[in-house]
Amino acid sequence: MNWDSYDTWTTVIGALCAVSCALPGCFLLLRGMSMMGDAISHAVLPGLALAFLVTQSRTSVAMFVGAALVGLMTAVFTQWLSRFGKVDRGAAMGIVFTTLFAIGLILIRQSAHFVDLDPGCVLYGSLEVSVLDSVVVGGLELPRAVLTIGAVMTVNFLFITFLFKELRICSFDPELATTLGINANVVHYLLMVVVAVTVVAAFEAVGSIIVISMLIVPPATAFLLTNSLPVMLVLSAALGVAAAFLGHLGALTVPVLLDVRGTVTSGMMAAAAGMLFVVAWMFSPREGLLVRRLQKLPISTGGSSAMD
Amino acid sequence: MLRIACAMLVVRGMSPFLLGLLLSVLAAGAAAAGQKEGQDASYVWKVLTLQSHNARLVILSTTLLGGASGMLGTFLLLRRRSLLGDALSHATYPGVGLAFVVMLLLGGEGKWLPGLLLGAACTGVIGVLLVLAIRNTTRIKDDAAMGIVLGVFFGVGVALMKLVSDLPGADAAGLNDFIYGSAASLVFADFLLILGITVVAGLLSVLLLKEFTLLCFDESFAASQGWPTLALDLAMLGLVTAVTVVGLQAVGLVLIIAFLIIPATAARFWTHDLRRMLWLAALLGGLSGWVGAGLSALFADLPTGAVIVLVAAFLFLVSLLAGSARGVVPRALRQGRLQRKVGRQHLLRAIYEILEGQHPDVSAPIRNLPIAQDALLAHRSWSLPQVSRLLRTARSEDHLEEAGKGKVRLSEAGFGEAARVTRNHRLWELYLIRYADIAPSHVDRDADLVEHVLDAEVVHQLESELRDRRSSLEVPPSPHFINQPGEALDHGKAEP
């Protein structure tokens, strides 16, 4: 195994994606909206198709705006259905994203007569390809994805830093937030905008697999390890970086072991995140299965027999 | 008038009628669409009634799948696990790759469909078990547990597929399309599989209805009664897995997720009864499968799955708006009716109390005299528009008549109703004072909350409880002070 600059950039892009997803993912987890990433990943299809039909071009800016708007609409419609229709949140999400996806499929099929718009190709970039697409900034050759995802990560970081108090109160106690004069609705929709933008930007750069898994798995792992929200945020970002590194390491070594040509790095990163989750699930000092089992053991066997 | 008719229709539980209406609208739309394509109406009818050979298999399969997943989706919805179908369908992904490898290693052909489906079902089941295990052993909730399984299994699946595709001697090309098929490529064997699985799933959910109901509504009670809740949960999820896996292969990923969620959620708007909801969800699922597949058979270039999802979404939208049990419009109508009733009763009681105030002699019967609107304004904390609206409604209900400028008078019916309403209010006040130890000066507000929903039986009970009162037919005197216009305002402190 030899590690060169290609591998470094792959890991860096994966890590940047993981951190940008894990930060808002913590709040999604606390609000019980973890499936939002998956929902948005299916729902953006009509946004892409409409952006294409309106502008008649495949520029990524139009696509990005269309996808982000539909991503936001997914969140808004879900909220409406669960508030006004009193539908369970998960069911509302499922109804919205399947319907939007169906509309997108039909739009694409209808426009297929005069253009070729392959949803798989337009929607999902791939980590392997985006590393090769490089630009020169200040004499340094960087993959373009590093810039876009880096920007998204910075925005997410600033968003969470500046609105930390509001986000925290709204996640744990929306009623208290309202009495303190914080508009919980505005905060909710701001978070949804951030999630939609992150998800779409990351799709375009590296594909949906990293996004769907990194929005949920590192925050859930961190949730098992701590009771403090700031610690959980830092921990989930660190776990995301670790998953990116281990994932790429796995992508380099596993095919060699099995004597096949290669595998998909983003898939391996998701698998690595899963492994880290299992480790935390078993050995977490508070929540781990091992600790719980130990806690259930009688304190002293001699004492309990004396009680009999 | 029309509004009232609609309200009657919706609220009186005439859902079959509305559904029939819906069906004919859909059929008419299909017929119109067919004509636009240059086909006559009889062809549309032939497709929808399964006489067209090409469409028959697809329509039957989607109808069956819609019915079965509608039923199972009901249980998922009630357990707040609607997105499990989503997690499950992604969790089947690595199973396909694994089954492919195993079959290759055993020397067989990699793309043997039943083997691949079995592999998909295996990892699907493992995924579901992991969701349950995460939920049961950590503080992570259902939705995040599903998300974890979905993300990780999907990632592993993608990585595995790529690994497998490079195995020597393997032709894995198109493995994805092969397993995550589309309705158009259904063959007779697929149909038989769907028929078998859906019938078994439907029968088992009917046979285990009592147990599943218990599990849905009170899992811990079921456990305390000695029911094997884990085994029942697994049986339920096993059925869901079976339907999901055959559905995935036949009609694709998004459609099967939609089938598990949309019909059940739509059915929830029409009824509070689980049995009815099950049948209705099966009906709505089957209907969207039937109409959607029929429609897409009429238009060659519409993807079947997407059309079915849109038909289901349309049915959902109608149910959301018009559903008789929880629909938005019937609920708003019920709320409006209650508000009008409360307003009417408050107005009538206010007038009655003003009339009482004009009669210092308690023993004499109260006479129905005209009263000034200003007196009403002063009596409760009403604004002028509120009072005028209440008066307008009361006039249209013939409870009130004009009596000169700025004055109104109760009609005969209105006077009787006012006496009855005031009496109910006072009876409840007396009850609260006697049995709930509430101070007479505070009892007015409490009685206000309840008096509007007192039915004849409760009033009768109150009468017998308070029998030793002087009379049970007259309106008893108010137990507390009522502020009358023209008196000194500081007396008003007695009533908050």
What is the ipTM, given to two decimal places?
0.90
Q: Is residue B9 part of a domain?
A: no
For residue B170, what pLDDT is reported?
62
Number of domains in chain B: 2
pLDDT at A210 > cutoff 80:
yes
In three-state secondary structure terms, B399 is: coil
Q: CA B312, CA A283: separation in Å to the nearest integer? A: 45
CB pairs under 8 A between A and B: 203
The answer on B202 and B319 residing in a single domain is yes
Mean pLDDT of B81-100: 89
Q: Mean pLDDT lowest for which of A122-131, B351-360, B411-420?
A: A122-131
What pLDDT, on a 0 to 100 scale, did the predictor assign at position A14? 92
Residues B371, B297 within the same domain: no
Domain match, B376 and B240 both: no
Answer yes or no: is pLDDT of B98 > 80.
yes
Domain contains B178: yes
Mean pLDDT of B365-388: 81
Tell me the chain A residues in contact with residue B158 when contact means C-beta distances shorter than 8 Å: 209, 264, 266-267, 270
Under a CB-based contact definition with an 8 Å cutoff, are residues A4 and A255 in contact? Answer: no
Is the residue at B35 inside a domain?
A: yes
- Tens digit of pLDDT for each residue in B426-447? 888 888 887 888 888 777 777 7
**Position A222 pLDDT exceeds 50:** yes
Q: Which of A34, A42, A262 sits opposite B143 (nearest CB)?
A: A34
Residue A215: what pLDDT? Answer: 93
pTM, 2 dp: 0.82
The Cβ of residue A154 has, within 10 Å, a number of other Cβ atoms equal to 12
A216 touches chain B (CB under 8 A): yes
Compute the mean pLDDT over every residue in chain B, rounded to the nearest whole number: 81
Whether B102 maps to a domain, the answer reads yes
Judge whether residue B16 has pLDDT over 80.
Answer: no
Question: Distance, in angstroms, between B243 CA and closest chain A CA?
Answer: 18
Residues B95 and B195 in one domain: yes
Angle formed by the axes of helices B304-322 and B53-78, nearest 10°: 50
From the CA atom positions of chain B, what is the Rg in Å?
33
- Please judge whether A35 and B163 are an interchain contact, meaning their C-beta atoms are less than 8 angstroms apart: no
Position B7 scores a pLDDT of 45
Asked if residue B179 has pLDDT above 90, the reply is: no
Report if residue B2 sits inside a domain: no
- B21 band by pLDDT with thresholds 50, 70 and 90: low
Decide if B293 touches A, using CB distance below 8 A: no
Examine the domain organization and report whether B271 and B401 are in the same domain: no
**Mind listing the pLDDT tens digit for each residue in B60-75?**
999 999 999 999 999 9
> Do B348 and B293 have their domain in common?
no
Residue of A nearest to B73 (CA): A91
d(CA B118, CA B121): 5
CATH code of the domain covering residue B409: 1.10.10.10
Look at residues B307, B326, B345 and tell me which one is the last residue of a structural domain: B326
pLDDT grade for A138, boundaries at 50, 70 and 90: confident
Judging contacts by C-beta atoms under 8 Å, the chain B residues touching residue A83 are none
In angstroms, rounded to a whole number, what is the distance separating the alpha carbons of residues A124 and A146? 16
User: Final residue of a domain: which of B326, B349, B369?
Assistant: B326
Model pLDDT, residue B442 = 79
B237 lies in some domain: yes
**Looking at B268, B298, B326, which one is the last position of a domain?**
B326
What's the confidence (pLDDT) of residue A125? 61
Would an 8 Å CB–CB cutoff place A291 in contact with chain B? no
Q: Average of pLDDT values for B461-489?
A: 65
Residue with tokens 């709204």: A170
For residue B46, the distance in angstroms to the closest alpha carbon of chain A comes to: 24
State both tokens at B420. Answer: 């009855």
Clarify whether residues B339 and B320 are in a common domain. Answer: no
Checking if the pLDDT of B393 tops 70, the result is: yes
Residue B56 shares a structural domain with residue B145: yes
Measured between CB atoms, does A22 come within 8 Å of chain B? Answer: no
CATH topology of domain A5-208: ABC transporter involved in vitamin B12 uptake, BtuC (1.10.3470)
Domain range enclosing B363: 332-494
Q: In this complex, is the C-beta atom of A87 within 8 Å of any C-beta atom belonging to chain B? A: yes
The predicted pLDDT at position B423 comes to 85
Contact B143 A90 (CB under 8 A): yes
Q: Given a cut of 60, is residue B6 above it in pLDDT? A: no
Distance in angstroms between the alpha carbons of the first and the last residue of chain A: 62
Query: CB-based contact (8 Å) between A263 and chain B?
Result: yes
In the structure, what pLDDT confidence band is assigned to residue B218 with cuts at 50, 70 and 90?
Answer: confident
- pLDDT computed for residue A116 by the predictor: 53
* B127 and B257 assigned to the same domain: yes
Type of residue found at A137: V
